[in-house]
Structure 1
Amino acid sequence: MIVSHKHKFIFLKTKKTAGTAIEAALSELCGPEDVITPYREESESDRKGLPPQNYRIEHPLKPKRSLWRRLMRRPERYYHQTVGFYEHMPAERVRAYVGEDVWRDYYKFAFDRNPWDRQVSWYLYKTKSKRTRPSFEQFMSSRRRAYVDNHEIYMPGGELSVDFLGRYEHLEEDLNKALEAAGVKERISVPKVNVTPNKDGARDYRSYFSPELRALVADWYAPEIKLLGYDF
């Protein structure tokens, strides 16, 4: 996620919506005081702008490192809440850290994606290192493993907390709409980074779903489906 004091915008990063590519593009606009959270080391080489910066903070609401991690001298990884700002940070925590004045005055945006398509992308990502990939049905049998909590990032408590919610399907167009609304004059392009390999080739996402799994996704992600009007 990014907090740009230079341009007065906040980008909330959701999952499987090209968030890393968006960050790579936005980091080229950022200034030295802006917050840029890290992402996976193997993707950092694709970042053309400023590197991760200003994400380690002290704040009374920031979770503390566990005692066993401190005793074992385990490093704080980029996604740990104990560092301060982190990549898939929900709106209410960002709001608490930046304060009401910044939250009110800055332009806030996020992205989401057709939940059925996103679910297949999540499955391919979460199982990409498996020697034998479980079936999609097996993967979906565990909500804890399969659920993607995107709407909790930008809709805490069911209330939309951003000024603009773009669509993955119109990624570059919507990103530039958001930046224009934030007052950024420069148009930017979005690079292709952190793309999950699809071992199934060009298989359509719809082919993964039984009627039961289709209904399950509709139930899990009813808030974003209702908000953005997605259908199967």
Structure 2
Amino acid sequence: MAYSDQKMSGSKIVAIAIVALIHAALGYAFVTGLAFQYVKKVSEKLNTFDVEEPPPPPPDEPPPPPPDIPMTPPPVVAPPPIVSAPSAPVTIATVPTPPPVFVPTPVAPPAPPPPPPPPAPPTVSKASAPKGNPADWITTDDYPPSSIRAEEEGTTVIKWTINAQGRVENCVTTQSSGSNALDQAACRALTRRARYAPALDAAGNPIASTQTRRVVWKLPRD
């Protein structure tokens, strides 16, 4: 069918070209004054013809149907079993909130009560009295040999307690002579020799009392 179209188109093009040449020649003759003569001659020579179109080609035959092939059914495939994975149980950890800890404010313990004042010393109704001559209780015979060699001298002030039995105890030095040997010799001699009639309170009961004494230490001179 494509070939017939090309043949028909070529005939039309030839006819169109001939007509165009004729029109060009007529125009030229008309311009030059020879139009009539040429038109006459051309009209005599011009042969008209009909262009016949070729018959259309027969339609294309459809292709033969494919042979009948029995269809094989696809194999039956069983679907895989549904496996349900066990889901782990959700564990909710509950953290107990501890109760607030009560921290008591430390309270300072109450101050202990002040100690009771010492009892007042009993009132001496009658003072203690020495038994014998107190001048004989400490003499130059009590001079320590070490103090004689060191030529130590001085004055010792001592204080002692006369208990309810009239004996001397708790003799201490309240003022030193500068020699420890002389101070100890004074208390030692007094504690050994001194004896007293104890002091008495208002009810006539013997009570303890205290006394003091100055002892002057001087080396014996020949």
Return the TM-score normalized by structure 1.
Answer: 0.18
Return the TM-score normalized by structure 2.
Answer: 0.19
Higher RCO structure (Cα 8 Å, ≥6 apart): 1
**Structure whose residues are more often strand by fraction:** 2
**Structure whose residues are more often helix by fraction:** 1
Larger Rg: 2
